[in-house]
Amino acid sequence: MTGSVHSAFREVRLAELACIGLLTIALAGCSSTRKQHPDNVTTGSIPQFSGSFETMNAAELASTEKAIGAAYDRNPKDKATGLRYANVLRMTGKNAQALAVMQQVAIAHPADRDVLAAYGKAQAAAGQLEQALATITRAQTPDRPDWRLYSAEGAVLDQLGRSDEARQKYRMALDAQPNEPSVMSNLGMSYVLSGDLRTAETYMRSAAQQPAADSRVRQNLALVVGLQGRFAEAEQIARHELSQQQADANITYLRSMLSQQNSWAKLAEKEKSKPSSADRIGSFEIRRN
C-alpha cells in the first residue's frame, strides 16, 4: 500500500472501522455450531422467529428485542434466552445492557463453554478487551479445543494490536476447521488493520467463495474493496443479497468513515489515475487463481 493511502487510513482510524467486521464475524458463531447458533436456538419459553438478527430491519429488531426481553424477565437464568437476548441487544447497539445480561447468565452457568464464549463476546463489544480475552481463554480447553474460540481470541488480540498472535490463533482455527469462511474473513480483517489491503482482499475473496460464506463475510469483502477506492465494485458486492435499505446503510457508513479528513476524496482521486477497472479486475482474477 502506498504512503498516501496508508496516511488516509490513519486519518480515519482504521482500527475503529474494521473492528465492526471483526466482532461481527469472529465472535458471531464462537459459542455454538451453525445448527445451534444462539440466533436459532429455541425453547418453549422463547418466541420463535425466522431468519437471523443480521437480516432484520430496525423495526423487526425492536419487536424481537421486546419479545425476547419479556422471556428473559420471566426466566433470567435460562441459557438460550439469555444468549439470544444479549445478541439482539448488541445488534441494537445496547452493548452495556448486553454485557449485564451475560453477567447474569454466567453467574447461573459458570462453567458452560457456550456461556463463557458469549460472555467474552459481550465484554469485547463493550470495550473490555483484556477481560474478554481472559474469559474466552478460560472457555477453551486443551483436550477439546474449539475453533470458534480460537477465532474469537484472534479477533480480540487484533483489537489489542497483537496482530502476530491474532493470526496464529486464526491459523489454529483453520487447522481445526479448514476453509471456514468466518475465520478466513477474520484473517483478512487482521491484514486490513495493519494496512495490507491486497493480502486482506485475497483472504476475503477466498472466504466469500466458500459454500458456507454468509452475508457478513461478503460485506467485509465489500469493505476491503471500498477501502481501496473501487467504489462501484464495492457497492455491487454490498447490494448482492441485502435489501436496498441495508445496502444503502452499509455504503453510507463506509463513505462517511472515509470522508473524514477527505480520505474518500483522496482515494477516489487515486482511483481515477489507475488503469481501467477491467484491467484491474482481470489482474486480480489472475492473482486470485
| pLDDT tens-digit map of 181-198 | 999 999 999 999 999 999
Phi and psi angles of residue 14, each rounded to the nearest 5 degrees, phi first: -55, -35
Q: Are 212 and 181 in contact (CB under 8 A)?
A: yes
Check if the beta carbon of residue 274 is closer than 8 Å to that of residue 280. Answer: yes
Residue boundaries of the structural domains of the chain: 1-29+187-289, 31-145
Assigned C-alpha cell, 73: 424477565
Which pLDDT band holds residue 263 (cuts at 50, 70, 90)? low
Q: Round the average pLDDT of the chain to a whole number and report it.
A: 76
Is the confidence at residue 159, as pLDDT, over 70? yes
Amino acid identity, residue 265?
A
82 pLDDT more than 90: yes
Are 205 and 41 in contact, with CB atoms under 8 Å apart?
no
Q: Which three cell numbers stand for residue 278?
A: 477491467
* Domain 31-145 is found in CATH 1.10.3720.10: no
Q: What does the pLDDT look like over 225-252, one tens digit per residue?
A: 988 988 889 888 888 767 777 777 767 7
265 pLDDT band (50/70/90 cuts)? low
**Pairwise CA distance, residues 37 & 29, whole Å:** 6
- pTM of the prediction? 0.71
Per-residue pLDDT tens for 21-77? 444 444 443 333 333 333 333 333 334 444 467 667 788 889 999 999 999 999 999
